[in-house]
Amino acid sequence: MEETLGVTGAGRIPSQQHGEPLRDTAARYAEERHWDVVPGVWLETTEGVERCSCGERACPAPGAHPADEDWAARATGSATVAREMWTQRPAAALLLPTGRTFDAIEVPETAGFLALARMERMGVTPGPVTRAPDRRMRFFVLPGGAAKAGDLVRRLGWSPEALGLRPLAEGSWLVAPPTRFGGQGAVQWARRPTPANRWLPDTQELISPLAYACGRETIPN
């Protein structure tokens, strides 16, 4: 379930309500959070069937991946340019490149919710967190944090691959709310961006509860 914090004012990214165009949401990310944004592919309806604009009939992420090979170079932090981009492609996926103003740590959804509960008990404040229909959650951390994740997990006695924990750094991206992921639903916020979490945590602050939660969910007792 998406968290609602009830925080208002500058810096709060609201959920997309009343049909807010994607271009406005993209502009908010750029203007209010200083995140780079880039449009991706989109969903097209042909003979009553939704398919990805990439043309691949068996697309593994329909409507939710980059559209161009040079997507990273096309990403912008300008709200004005973002509006222009989505005016040209109004249904395009909203993608956020990692390795710039933030990195991300990706984990299985069940482990992600368990980790959030554990963080609350530990008094750890996470940054924004997305949950997607692929049943994965992405935790935003400070830039450079993804590079440290593997070593930090191994020091705790686990393998990142065995845990299903994946760092997202420069050259990667994540799909931002409220992008639709094929016919499976939309990407949502598990922890919405607010003024309270504008300052992102370092990976070291989150890795213990994340690794513990992933270990409980993915490694048999």
Segment 35-70, tens digit of pLDDT: 999 999 999 988 788 899 999 989 999 999 999 999
User: From edge to edge, which strands make up the β-sheet containing 188-191?
Assistant: 166-168, 103-108, 136-141, 129-132, 188-191
Instruction: Judge contact between 157 and 38, C-beta under 8 A.
Output: no
The pLDDT value recorded for residue 48 is 80
Residue 55, amino acid: G
Element (H, E) at 120: helix 109-122
The pLDDT value recorded for residue 218 is 65
Quote the CA–CA distance of 54 and 66 in Å, as a whole number.
9
Quote the CA–CA distance of 37 and 77 in Å, as a whole number.
6
The pLDDT value recorded for residue 46 is 81
Q: How confident is the model at residue 181 (pLDDT cuts 50, 70, 90)?
A: confident
Mean pLDDT calculated for residue range 90-119: 97
* In the predicted structure, residue 126 carries a pLDDT above the cut 70: yes
